[in-house]
A and B are shown apart, each in its own frame.
Chain A
Amino acid sequence: MSDIPGGAMANRPVHFIWLLDCSYSMQGEKIGQLNYAIREAIPEMRSVAHDNPAAQLLLRTVTFSTTAQWHHQVPVPVDDFTWQDVQVDGMTNLGEALTLVSRELQSPPMPQRALKPVLALVSDGVPTDDWKAGLKAIDATPWGRKAVRVSIAIGADADRGVLQEFLGNPELQPLDANSPKQLAAAIRWASTAAVKAASQPVAASADPLAKQPYAPPVLDDDDDDDVW
């Protein structure tokens, strides 16, 4: 055993936070497919985590409807993570969810020694509260500004403008999920590519429009019968 000075060593955490729209418009097939897609994506997230042994992938989930609340409040290592289905409730209070997450992106509780967090926003509608205030709260935190952000627009009624603004980079686009198949692909991509991007070293750029080290995939033309 090596006797290197300096005390204990440890890999660095990647905090991955799902922000899931659980408003009434998600009722039925959409929420069912979302639960299914995330559950199915977990093994792939574990695989990505095992390929990046220097990163400790920790998962959390916020749901937003009439209120925003933690579905998984304590960060759970991906190896211990089991998906519990989310349920629909009421309105689309995205701003409240963003504010809730912003409190967790302050340091503390976020450690200084970490890899970039990942924020993955999934929504099918239009926010019903002051979402800009929530986004501003996230952008006001150092880790929020550094976060790798992905957004998924479910169906034609999703407010792509809001999801685009959440990304904070005009070169990035929300991922459209207009069918169960596309939603599964989008969730799979968000679960894995974003984690890889968070754990890659890159040159910092003063240019806020600089290209990100990841880009959403081009999903196949939908051939599902069910189109949202």
Chain B
Amino acid sequence: MTLGVRRWDTLGDSVQGVGKRCNQDWWACEGTGSGDEPLVLAVADGHGSAVHARSELGARFAVDRFLGLARSFGRAARDGHEPGRLARLMTYARDDFPRALVQEWRSAALGHWDRHRPVADDGAAEPEPGDKLLLYGTTLIGAVLTPWLFVAWQIGDGDLAVVEHDGQLRRPLAPAEEDLGDETESLCGAQAWRAVRTHWAPLFDEARGPRLVVLSTDGLSKSFAAADGYREFVEGLDGRLAREGAAGVKAVLPEWLRQASQYSGDDTTLVAALRPVRPASATEQKTES
């Protein structure tokens, strides 16, 4: 048993949209944020309509495959201070990681299709891979946090919000122009890796890293009547976490998400990581790990 610094408190939940046959979102959160155990957060939103009939599985594959890749990536960042290594990591994050993610997701989806083919239709032609992948269509937002690095990726809609150490709120992966309606980029798209957006933020001083990172599916942001409702939500969440800590928000989060889903009509998922406030009298808060 060792004692280590508790770097992050985390919380997350998901609720099924009104009238949906099942919750087509998926999410995960693992790791402590140390060099050996990077904190990995991910949410995915299966498209859910009839043409994406297996999208709840697509969302799950996306999160699962992201976790594996992000964990390895985070561990590889342990030696980021070595000359040239940070630049190589950045190139990998921007160019290779999206391709690897899309490739792994496609493999998972096509593998599932092979194992769970529709009841044979005599004479029916084998669907093209693109048509099979369409069934599993999903978005994905994922982030990895280590003591030296914060990297996030996004394909499709949904939101990544970051509250910096000084309280400044940023949405680093928000598109310049929001998609109209309910169309979104997707992992099932042709050359989907080109649609993956990347946020790269080395942390030269851990204490000046973000104090709150929030990932959510679009069921949350699309529920607010005002254009800046989502921003106000994150600011309010940040304030509430500062006052009550993660435990207080964990208790009300399911009800918040349920309320949002009633207006957006969508499955609604949020996962967040909060850097605990360290007592002034202590330099480190110790926990068993």
Let me know if A199 and B240 touch, CB within 8 A.
Answer: no
Residues of A within 8 A of B280 (CB): none
Let me know if A203 and B180 touch, CB within 8 A.
Answer: no
Let me know if A202 and B222 touch, CB within 8 A.
Answer: no
Let me know if A6 and B229 touch, CB within 8 A.
Answer: yes
Of the candidates B137, B178, B185, B235, the one whose C-beta lies within 8 Å of that of A112 is B178
Residues of B within 8 A of A201 (CB): 47-49, 182-184, 266
Distance A112 CA – B225 CA, assembled complex (angstroms)? 11
Q: Is the interface of A mostly helix, strand, loop or mixed?
A: loop
Of the candidates B50, B188, B256, B264, the one whose C-beta lies within 8 Å of that of A4 is B256
Distance A112 CA – B228 CA, assembled complex (angstroms)? 12
Distance A8 CA – B222 CA, assembled complex (angstroms)? 12
Let me know if A202 and B237 touch, CB within 8 A.
Answer: no
Distance A55 CA – B222 CA, assembled complex (angstroms)? 11
B161-197 interface mask toward A, CB cutoff 8 Å, 1 = contact, 0 = none? 0000000000000000011111111101110000000
Does B230 touch A at the CB level, under 8 Å? yes
Does B152 touch A at the CB level, under 8 Å? no
Most B-side CB within 10 Å, residue of A3, A199, A203: A203
Of the candidates A54, A116, A203, A213, the one whose C-beta lies within 8 Å of that of B266 is A54
Residues of B within 8 A of A143 (CB): 180
Residues of B within 8 A of A116 (CB): 180-183
Does A53 touch B at the CB level, under 8 Å? yes
B262-275 interface mask toward A, CB cutoff 8 Å, 1 = contact, 0 = none? 11111000000000
Let me know if B222 and A203 touch, CB within 8 A.
Answer: no
Of the candidates A51, A52, A112, A114, the one whose C-beta lies within 8 Å of that of B227 is A112
Most A-side CB within 10 Å, residue of B49, B179, B237, B266: B49
Residues of A within 8 A of B178 (CB): 112
Of the candidates B18, B184, B258, the one whose C-beta lies within 8 Å of that of A54 is B18
Distance A8 CA – B190 CA, assembled complex (angstroms)? 38
User: Which residues from 41 to 80 on chain B have a C-beta closer than 8 Å to any C-beta of chain A?
Assistant: 47-52
Interchain residue pairs with CB less than 8 A apart (9): A5-B236, A7-B232, A11-B263, A54-B263, A116-B183, A200-B49, A202-B183, A204-B184, A206-B189
With A8-B225, A202-B49 known, 14 other A-B pairs at CB within 8 A are A4-B259, A5-B235, A5-B236, A6-B229, A9-B259, A9-B260, A9-B263, A10-B263, A54-B264, A116-B183, A201-B47, A202-B183, A203-B184, A204-B186
